Amino acid sequence: MTGPDYRVEARGVLEAAGKALAAESARFAGIGWMRGTSGNLSIVLNRNPLRLAVTVSGLDKGELTSADVVVVDEYGRAVEEQPRPDLIPSAEAELHARVASLSGAGAVVHVHALQAVLAGHWWPDGIELRDLEMLKGIGRLAHDETVAIPVVPNSQDMKVLGDDVAKVFDPGVPAVVVARHGMYAWGRDLLQARHHTEIVEFLLQFKVETR
C-alpha cells in the first residue's frame, strides 16, 4: 500500500497479515525458537508513512490468531487508526521498524534461537562464516568469501539497540545477532524472512558445533 489513509482498505490487508504472522509464529514456536511468550514478527503494511503489523505482547506465540496484531509507526508506537488500538505491541516493535527502515525489508523475524545466543556469546565481535553451501541461501557465495553475521550488545532501550544495529548493518547480510538475547532476520516478504532465519540459524549451529 502506498497512501497514508489505509483505515478502510487496509482492514483486509491487516487481517491477511495477522493470519500470516500467526501461522509463522506457530511454526517458530513449534521448533522451540519462540518459547513462552518470547519473540515477535512483523510485516510492513505501508512505507510512507511507515506502518507495520507486529505481533502483540505477552501471548503464547503458538496460539496467536489473525486478530493478535498491532499496527505501529516508525517508532514502534501503536497508531490509533486500527481495529484494536487497545492492544499492546511488543516492546521490540521499535527495533522492527528500525530494521525495516534500514533494510527496506517487507518483514522482520525475531526469535530466541539458542544457537544465535551461543554464537553471540562466543563471537561478540561478529560471527565469521566461510565455505558453506547454505551461504547461498542468504545470497552469498558458497566458496572463497567470508561472511560476517554482526553481533550487537543487548539493551532494553530500543533506541540504543537500534543505533547499535545501524552501526553494524550490512545490506548483504539479512540478519543480526543480539548478544545473550536472540537474532533478527528479514526479507522482502515473510516467507523470505523465514527462510533467512532458518538458514542463518543453521549456519550458526554449524559454527557453534565445530568451534
- Tell me the binding residues for Zn(2+): 110, 112
CA 37 from centre of chain: 15
Question: Do 159 and 94 touch, CB atoms closer than 8 A?
Answer: yes
Cα dihedral: 22, 26, 32, 36 (round 10): 60
> What is the bridge-based pairing of β-strands 175-178 and 182-187?
antiparallel
In the structure grid, which three cell numbers stand for residue 191, read together?
Answer: 516467507
Give me Rg for the CA atoms of the chain.
16
Which residues define the annotated binding site? 110, 112
CA 105 from centre of chain: 10
Nearest alpha-carbon partner for 44 in 72, 24, 66: 72
